[in-house]
A = this chain, B = another copy of it.
Amino acid sequence: MLSNIREVADLAGVSVATVSRTLQQPELVSPKTRARVTRAIEQLDYKPNLMAVKFRSGKSHNIVVLVPTVANVFFARVIRGMQEAAAAEGYSLLLVNTMGDNATEQNYARMIHTSQADGVVQLRAFNPFNENDVDDQGLLPMVNACEILDAPQCPTVSLDNRLAAAAMTEHLVELGHQHIAMIKGPASSPLTRERMLGFKDALRESGLNYCEDLMFDGDFTLQSGFDAADRILSQTHPVSAIFCENDEMALGAISRLKAAGLRIPEDISVTGFDNIAFSNFSDPPLTTIAQPAEEFGETAINLLIDVLKGKAKRAVKVILPYQLIIRNSTGPAPAQPVNPTQ
């Protein structure tokens, strides 16, 4: 059924080497034999066994992608970008849903040691490798995307989250907001820390006080945004705006705020981060920070391939641009901020 290179060689009346060359370096084969071989290949519908090629070459042309969860809309876009870049270079993606589990990540990163994959793209700021895994250039076969992992041995593609968060905060401050709550991502995510720092930066620059009581925990899901808004409503500090660390939490929060009869943005402003498709169709459409998600994926893959090909001499850090998208979930601060216990 499946023919191999020997059958092709026999049918074409040449040696296996000639068949291999016809496929790999056709310029080394004379036109006539090349034609004979090509015809034999077609006749037998020969397809090289890529497992054999990969085994022999020691290159699997597979890339492990460690994603906290594919259910996240932003990551879905990043993955799409990776897909395309990888396909263009002849690489396949082995997608792993890590659910944020370090042990799982280390497990899968080990696929490199078993030659199942050549490299890893990590979407979380966790390093599943150790010093022994660096190559001759001193680089890890890994690229870190979206979140910043403090590993000098690997290229990173990210966004200046601190600056972006500051820009968003300034937008709120300009609208007159003085009581801004924040719904954060999990504490384990450096992204959360960066965005919080940007938030603080902007408050300080504006002469506003940072209030620890107005920081609420979330986990980037709709439900967690909903729950955090619930907690915001049941505490005593005044609040006129909520800065959410991603769009999903913002949409969840809006859902809860509306259920409480609050109008957005008249009573309270809400902002997101990521600019997922839903944020443009919500009521109201969400003010958010656009990230070039597909480009994140694309860049990550290309950087990794550079490392794998030994083209990268040192770990570059790529910072992609963000964009503040102002829609209708933010408006002028109300005369009287929301404060349920008043």
Assess the A95–B114 pair: CB atoms within 8 A.
no
Assess the A222–B51 pair: CB atoms within 8 A.
no
Given A226-B281, A283-B283, CB of A83 within 8 Å of CB of B97 = yes
A52, A70, A79, A285 interface centre (most CB from chain B within 10 Å):
A70
Chain B residues within 8 Å of A87, by CB? 96
Instruction: Tell me which residues from 101 to 118 in chain A have a Cβ below 8 Å from any Cβ of chain B.
Output: 110-111, 113-116
For the complex, give the distance between the alpha carbons of A52 and B80 in Å: 30
Is A60 part of the contact surface with B, judged by Cβ < 8 Å?
yes
Number of copies: 2
Chain B residues within 8 Å of A258, by CB? 283
Is A230 part of the contact surface with B, judged by Cβ < 8 Å?
no
Closest partner residue, chain B, to A2 (CB atom): B113
Instruction: Tell me which residues from 55 to 80 in chain A have a Cβ below 8 Å from any Cβ of chain B.
Output: 55, 58, 60, 69-71, 73, 76-77, 79-80
Is A189 part of the contact surface with B, judged by Cβ < 8 Å?
no
Assess the B70–A83 pair: CB atoms within 8 A.
yes
Is A185 part of the contact surface with B, judged by Cβ < 8 Å?
no
Is A93 part of the contact surface with B, judged by Cβ < 8 Å?
yes
Assess the A251–B278 pair: CB atoms within 8 A.
yes
For the complex, give the distance between the alpha carbons of A77 and B83 in Å: 18
For the complex, give the distance between the alpha carbons of A84 and B98 in Å: 10
Is A311 part of the contact surface with B, judged by Cβ < 8 Å?
no
Is A188 part of the contact surface with B, judged by Cβ < 8 Å?
no
Chain B residues within 8 Å of A47, by CB? 110, 113-114
Is A92 part of the contact surface with B, judged by Cβ < 8 Å?
yes
Given A251-B278, A258-B283, A278-B251, CB of A73 within 8 Å of CB of B71 = yes
Chain B residues within 8 Å of A116, by CB? 50-51, 92
Is A20 part of the contact surface with B, judged by Cβ < 8 Å?
no
Interface string of A220-232 (1 = CB under 8 A from B): 0111001000000
Chain B residues within 8 Å of A69, by CB? 80
Assess the A76–B80 pair: CB atoms within 8 A.
no
Given A95-B95, A97-B80, A97-B84, CB of A251 within 8 Å of CB of B113 = no
Q: Which of B92, B93, B222 contacts A278 (CB 8 A)?
A: B222
Q: Which of B70, B115, B283 contacts A51 (CB 8 A)?
A: B115
For the complex, give the distance between the alpha carbons of A252 and B47 in Å: 45
Given A71-B73, A281-B252, CB of A50 within 8 Å of CB of B221 = no
Is A314 part of the contact surface with B, judged by Cβ < 8 Å?
no
A69, A116, A252 interface centre (most CB from chain B within 10 Å):
A116
Assess the B97–A94 pair: CB atoms within 8 A.
no
For the complex, give the distance between the alpha carbons of A96 and B87 in Å: 9
Closest partner residue, chain B, to A277 (CB atom): B222
Instruction: Tell me which residues from 272 to 307 in chain A have a Cβ below 8 Å from any Cβ of chain B.
Output: 277-278, 280-283, 285
Is A204 part of the contact surface with B, judged by Cβ < 8 Å?
no
Instruction: Tell me which residues from 223 to 253 in chain A have a Cβ below 8 Å from any Cβ of chain B.
Output: 223, 226, 251-252
Could you give 7 example pairs across A and B, Cβ below 8 Å? A51-B51, A71-B277, A76-B76, A84-B97, A95-B95, A251-B281, A252-B281
List 6 other contacts, CB 8 Å, given A50-B115, A69-B80, A251-B278.
Answer: A49-B115, A51-B60, A93-B94, A252-B281, A255-B281, A255-B283
